[in-house]
Amino acid sequence: MSDHHHDHDHGQAPPSDIALRVKALETLLVEKGVVDAAALDAIIETYEHKVGPRNGAKVVARAWTDPAFRTRLLADATAAIAELGFGGRQGEHMVAVENTPAVHNLVVCTLCSCYPWSVLGLPPAWYKAAPYRARSVIEPRAVLAEFDVILASEVEVRVWDSTAEIRYLVIPQRPAGSERLDEAALAALVTRDSMIGTAVLPPVQL
């Protein structure tokens, strides 16, 4: 049976006919004029090349280097992020939560796959899969350990379950050794996972 050839390890390898079924529906919808083929390409181009975690990294680097921006970001993240030109779909209502030596924030959506597209792009497969959604709220430290994040016991973990249309961006701690880097160099250090809360940025080796 063809089922035995499928790799279900990441929940991503499709059955062999799904690509054909998608193509058939797309062809019908384009020929009927329900959708515009060029619009489909433009949407994909947007999320593959324009809207992604580099947006969020710029927000974080600005917060690290501009205390007034950091204050505005923590007070009204939607407006502060809009200053950098980011907003729109799945980023309409933003809240930024800041990691400190005492507090570590972790973002999840237990009910579906809510994620701040405007600053992080589309969510990675693991974020949308059952293990992360089920476990993050009940055993966040075990989840973090699977990302090689081991927190001291005195650090408080705050888990943000995205149950409404508010989208959360974690401001990671600025890495040790980064004091002399400018905003652009700092942005290059910021990873997607650090803005979900599943990574801590390592010290900079100069």
Q: Which of 114, 118, 136, 194 does the annotation list as catalytic? A: 114
Region binding other proteins by CB under 8 A among candidate stretches 42-50, 64-72, 169-177, 182-190: 42-50
Assess contact for 141 and 167: CB atoms under 8 A. no
Q: Is 114 a catalytic residue?
A: yes
Phi, psi values for residue 160, rounded to 5°: -110, 105
d(C-alpha 25, C-alpha 35), whole Å = 11
Min separation Cβ 57 and other proteins, Å: 14
First to last CA, the chain: 55
Pick the closest to residue 84 from 55, 110, 64, 111 (CA basis).
55
Residues 117-136 contacting other proteins, CB under 8 A? 118, 121-122, 124-126, 128-136
Would you count residue 198 as binding other proteins (CB under 8 A)? Answer: yes
Does residue 184 belong to the site contacting other proteins (CB under 8 A)?
Answer: no
User: Is 185 a binder of other proteins (CB under 8 A)?
Assistant: no
Identify the active-site residue in 2, 16, 112, 194: 112
CA distances from 35 to 27, 31, 38, 122 (A): 10, 8, 9, 21
100 binds other proteins (CB under 8 A): no
Q: Examine the residue annotation and report whether 109 is marked as an active-site residue of this protein.
A: yes
Quote the distance between the C-alpha of residue 100 and its chain's center.
19
Number of residues that bind other proteins (CB under 8 A): 85
**Subset of 161-180 contacting other proteins (CB under 8 A):** 161-166
Contact 94, 77 (CB under 8 A): yes
Among 65, 110, 173, 178, binds other proteins (CB under 8 A): 110
The minimum distance between CB 168 and other proteins, in angstroms, equals 9
Active site residues: 109, 112-114
